[in-house]
Amino acid sequence: MKQYFLFSIIAVLIIFSSCNPHKPKYMANNGSVYGTYYNIKYQSPDGKDLQNEIDDEFRRYTLIFSHYEKEATITKINHNIDVVPESEFTKCFSRAEEISMLTNGAFDITAGPLINAWGFGPEDRKKMTPEIVDSLQTFTGYTKVKLQDGKIVKENPAMQLNMSAIAKGYTCDLIGEFLAKKGCENYMIDIGGEVVAKGKNDKGKVWTIGIREPNEDPFSTDLNAAVMLPDHALATSGNYLNFYEENGKKYAHTIDPKSGYPVQHSLLSATVLADDCMTADAFATSFMVLGKDKGIQIAEKIPDMEIYFIFADENGDNQVYMSEGFKKYLMK
């Protein structure tokens, strides 16, 4: 009787296995979003490729955050069209305002007109003068815009929002949440260098992300360091690729919202490790505005944040500063 019962169990298991041919499988999806690339790797619990569903998610977020899209929520707000923003928009906006306060205005999603005027946006570069900078600053400043009764209220109708320095990171978080709902326990999401990782890769090892050596060759693959990401987010911002020279002077794409001018300091790149990519993304940009010393001072006050700065010393040689906690994530 026991032998018969054991045989029955084995037979049922064989039948069940034959009816469920789908097994966990690592998938790799890639494409473009927000004017940059995305690379996503994940272990699909049933072996299903989620590329189409992921692209649907990206299309939805593009219609919220992309100021290049005419029908996007942010575009409607910029054009003063009455719109009730989605919960994703209000969450991102609120976090942006918090980080603006924590950085004393170094992070500012209203600085778009200044960025454009200096030649780092979709518009033609202007011949900048102190008068032009002053005039642009009359309708920039994070304290001049707020969320009130579920809508964005601007102090000046000419104000323009640009969330590109936080929305990519937040979208990494959102795609991570999407994959988790699909039962994925192991995944890595990279959107233009902003990264969220959870679990392990297809070799059973912790996801490892490289920090690029700051040089002006856009095709360089030289790495300064490799970082292990066990259930963390990582974002890097730098000035070494996006700049121009005029009259012998180099102008970097990072604009200080408070002064209205491109930054002039020794910090070449700022890498931030945090629990979520929205935070890492925004602070990486903030630290590029603040510079090394002020960036270190603020980072030390933020819980669960680690930093890795590459800067030029007085001789022009690249040096590294990293927080004590960052060291444990470095691949030896």
Q: What pLDDT digit, counting tens, does each position of 202-246 carry?
A: 999 999 999 877 755 555 566 788 999 989 999 998 864 444 344
Mean pLDDT computed over 269-290: 96
Kindly tell me if the per-residue pLDDT of 312 is higher than 90. no
Sequence-distant (≥ 6) Cβ neighbours of residue 57 within 8 angstroms: 174, 175, 178
Q: At what angle do helices 164-181 and 51-65 cross, to 10 degrees?
A: 150
Q: What is the DSSP letter of 200?
A: B
What pLDDT does 20 receive? Answer: 47
The three-class DSSP label of residue 201 is coil
State the DSSP H helix or E strand holding residue 309, giving kind and residue range, or none if neither: strand 306-312
Where do the DSSP E strands lie in 90-183?
A: 145-148, 151-154
Instruction: Name the pairing type of β-strands 243-246 and 249-252.
Output: antiparallel
Using only C-alpha atoms, what is the Rg of the chain? 23
Question: Which stretch, 61-70, 125-134, 233-242, 250-259, has highest mean pLDDT?
Answer: 61-70
Q: What is the DSSP letter of 126?
A: P
What pLDDT does 136 receive? Answer: 84
Mean pLDDT computed over 125-134: 74
What pLDDT does 245 receive? Answer: 46
What pLDDT does 124 receive? Answer: 55
> Which CATH superfamily is 44-329 part of?
ApbE-like domains (3.10.520.10)
Could you report the per-residue pLDDT of 4-49, keeping only the tens digit for each?
444 444 444 444 444 445 688 999 999 999 999 999 999 999 999 9
Say how many C-beta atoms besides its own lie within 10 A of residue 36's C-beta: 13
Distance CA 117, CA 102 (A): 26
Distance CA 102, CA 106 (A): 9
What pLDDT does 135 receive? Answer: 78
What pLDDT does 255 receive? Answer: 80
